[in-house]
Amino acid sequence: MFVIYLLIGFLATFAGAMAGLSGGVILKPVLDFFGHYDLASIGVLSGACVLAMSSVSLISSNKQGQQVKRVQSFLIAIGSVIGGTLGKSIFNRIFTSVQLSQHVGWIQSSLLIVILVIIFIFIKYRQNFKTYQIKHPLVILMVGLTLGLAAAFLGIGGGPLNVAILSWLFSMDAKAAALNSIFIIFFAQLSGMLVVFFTTDVSDYHLTMLPVMIVGGITGGLLGSRLRIWLTVRHVELIFNTLIVGIIFLNAYNLLVYAGLAN
């Protein structure tokens, strides 16, 4: 089991670091699929692994001379921290409610499918959509808040949403969006983890696999970020779209499981 979860953490963050997906959007449905942990524990395992990945990925990218768009990404990151804190708080409140907790799984999977389909269509046919160059600080801050809120509630780290929004509202290509997405993810996940550890009882979570998943996240983040510099924009787009399609199908299966239509 330790080897399996080490590989899960590594492969998810390796692919996520290359495409700016954070790994969380991969980890969440994969951990759902295995069914070994409740949703609250999955959120912590995924969040900690993604935080480890984004940390080492940013350090590695900086050493390679890759730079984020500091003003835009920093404002989005601040908004993501606020939104991520609110989103995680909302999730914790819902999960502790007996009446609502049983519905969280299928709600998350359903929303993820819809969001990912929209993102796939946008990235695949981006040339047909008008893109923008938003510069107003307050608007950028609100964009970050919305991203952080959605990502924290869905437990996905925000990667695909970040990439799509950065491409749409800030006219970034796939490689630039991937790097800036990782920058935003770092702050959003950091705030989310702080909320969890300071507002809930950690002993309520099942975190046996946390150390090995963090090791996998660090390794995957390092290798993925180093490989990204050699990839073309087209390669990053191809990896992104392939992963999105796979995640959509995995979430569809998880939704059937939650609905009791699959074993």
Measured distance CA(206)–CA(183) in Å, rounded:
28
Let me know: does 124 contact 167? Beta carbons within 8 Å: no
pTM of the model: 0.76
82-123 pLDDT, tens digit each: 887 787 777 667 666 656 556 667 777 788 888 889 888 988
pLDDT at position 261: 62
Mean pLDDT of all residues in 34-41:
80
Percentage of the chain modeled with pLDDT above 70: 88
38-57 pLDDT, tens digit each: 877 887 888 888 888 888 88
pLDDT at position 119: 87
Contacts of 65 (CB under 8 A, 6+ apart): none
Contacts of 97 (CB under 8 A, 6+ apart): none
pLDDT at position 157: 59
pLDDT at position 138: 93
pLDDT at position 95: 63
Lowest mean pLDDT among 162-166, 194-198, 233-237: 194-198
Q: Which residue has the higher pLDDT, 245 or 29?
A: 245
pLDDT at position 94: 67
Mean pLDDT of all residues in 58-74:
77
Residue 142 has pLDDT above 70, yes or no: yes
211-225 pLDDT, tens digit each: 999 998 889 888 887
Mean pLDDT of all residues in 22-50:
79
Residue 156 has pLDDT above 80, yes or no: no
Measured distance CA(97)–CA(103) in Å, rounded:
10
Place of tokens 């804190």: 85
pLDDT at position 215: 92
What single string gives the DSSP state of each residue in 149-213? Answer: HHHHHHTSTTHHHHHHHHHHHH---HHHHHHHHHHHHHHHHHHHHHHHHHHS-GGGS--TTHHHH
Measured distance CA(194)–CA(11) in Å, rounded:
25
Give the largest CA-CA distance in the chain: 50
**Closest Cα to residue 53, out of 226, 228, 229, 219?**
219
Residue 262 has pLDDT above 60, yes or no: no
Measured distance CA(76)–CA(134) in Å, rounded:
12
Q: How many other C-beta atoms can be found within 10 angstroms of the C-beta atom of residue 73?
A: 26
DSSP 8-state secondary structure symbol assigned to residue 260: T
